[in-house]
């Protein structure tokens, strides 16, 4: 279970979200309430507590905590930017 962040996503985070080197960005699981999958990924600046997976690019650390890693279901996570939107691919 690894996290990977594409160059397009890093550019989006830096230019649109104003994240910069030294930031810690948590990828977390949130309840959305229904549909095909009742859960989705969210992103927030946060201080790491119990990192289960991480990826560093341009000095920005993207990470998932142990309490959220279950949602990957033993798969990898790629964070990308397509058409100006952040997308999460579990594969």
Q: Number of structural domains, the chain?
A: 1
pTM, full prediction = 0.91
pLDDT digits (tens, 9 = 90+) for 36-81: 778 899 999 999 999 999 999 999 999 999 999 999 999 999 999 9
| Residue 5 pLDDT | 98
User: What's the rounded Cα separation, in Å, for the pair 75 and 89?
Assistant: 10
| Residue 58 pLDDT | 96
* Residue 34's pLDDT band (cuts 50, 70, 90): confident
Tokens of 13: 């985070």
| Residue 42 pLDDT | 95
CATH number at residue 25: 2.60.300.12
| Residue 32 pLDDT | 85
Ordered DSSP codes for 26-86 = EEEEEE--SSS-SEEEEEEE---SSEEEEEEETTEEEEEETTTGGGGTT--EEEEEETTEE
The answer to whether 89 touches 49, Cβ cutoff 8 Å, is no
Instruction: Domain of residue 26: give its range.
Output: 3-90
């Amino acid at each position: 279970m690894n996290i990977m962040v594409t160059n397009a996503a890093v550019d989006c985070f830096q230019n649109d979200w104003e994240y910069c080197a030294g930031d810690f960005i948590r990828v977390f699981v949130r309840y959305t309430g229904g549909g095909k999958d009742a859960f989705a990924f969210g992103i927030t600046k946060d201080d790491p507590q119990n990192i289960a997976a991480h990826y560093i690019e341009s000095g920005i650390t993207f990470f998932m905590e142990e309490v959220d890693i279950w949602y990957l279901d033993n798969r990898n996570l790629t964070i990308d930017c397509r058409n100006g939107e952040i997308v999460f691919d579990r594969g």
